[in-house]
Structure 1
Amino acid sequence: MSNDRGTIKWASLMLPEHVKLLQDMWQDDYRMTKPVLDSQEIEVLNAQILEAFEYGSTVSVSIYSDGTVFDHIGVIIKLDSQTNNIILQLTDSTQVTIAFNDILSITIR
């Protein structure tokens, strides 16, 4: 059985622009579309955000950004209703600003 490396074996014969296009194409394969939350899921998220903020609980927040889903663990230190953002202080003491619209799920720990 041969060890076929696919298009990688041809990379030395390609122009750098072609290699870049192939890499972009491979990355696009892993991108996903943003899930749409219904009104009930949004209400549950709002209740969880308010509860975690009120009690200072540690939360795990899943957010959608540029085709991928990221998880952050920390404590919600500020809710900004004017800009629709939350400020999350991560476990390493850095702060992250997250838009309400990017939040997919919250788990209170």
Structure 2
Amino acid sequence: MTVMSIRDRGMKKWQFAFGHPELIKGQRDLWRDQERIAKPIVDVYELEEFDSRIAYAMEYNLAVIITIWLDGFTSEIKGRVHYVDPISNELRIEGEDGLFQRISFEDVVGVVVVD
């Protein structure tokens, strides 16, 4: 009776999986999708509070930190409120670098006035 030895190819058997960029991109997309959060529900009272904070910051030229929700992720924008456009429902924020950003009212989930 002869004994057959097991011939393992080592890491070569895994090179196929890591050699295809589509598989790596798919895995990264899967990990990114797992980190997404649902859009926070903002009620009418919070919207009124956001409006009063924005009006206060505009009146006294104070900086604000606005938390926005885009595509499952939240981010913060710090700057001064330059203009509130009621027609297009946008805020125009002058960032710390001097550039202007437009933010939709629907994307705002938090406003903090920085003294």
Give the TM-score normalised by the residue count of structure 1: 0.84
How far apart, in 2, do the equivalents of 1:35 and 1:48 lie?
19
Aligned partner of 2:22 in structure 1 is 17
Aligned partner of 1:104 in structure 2 is 109
How far apart, in 1, do the equivalents of 2:97 and 2:76 lie?
14
- Unaligned 5+ segments in structure 2 are 1-13
Q: Deviations over 1:3-61 (max 9, x none)?
A: xxxxxxx5x32233222211110111111111011111111111111111122111111
Alignment of 1:39-50 (within 5 A): 39-50=44-55
DSSP 3-state at the match of 1:93: coil
How far apart, in 2, do the equivalents of 1:101 and 1:46 lie?
13
Q: Higher Cα Rg: structure 1 or 2?
A: 2
How far apart, in 1, do the equivalents of 2:97 and 2:46 lie?
29
RMSD: 1.2
Alignment of 1:29-108 (within 5 A): 29-108=34-113
DSSP 3-state at the match of 1:98: strand
Identity %: 28
Give the TM-score normalised by the residue count of structure 2: 0.80
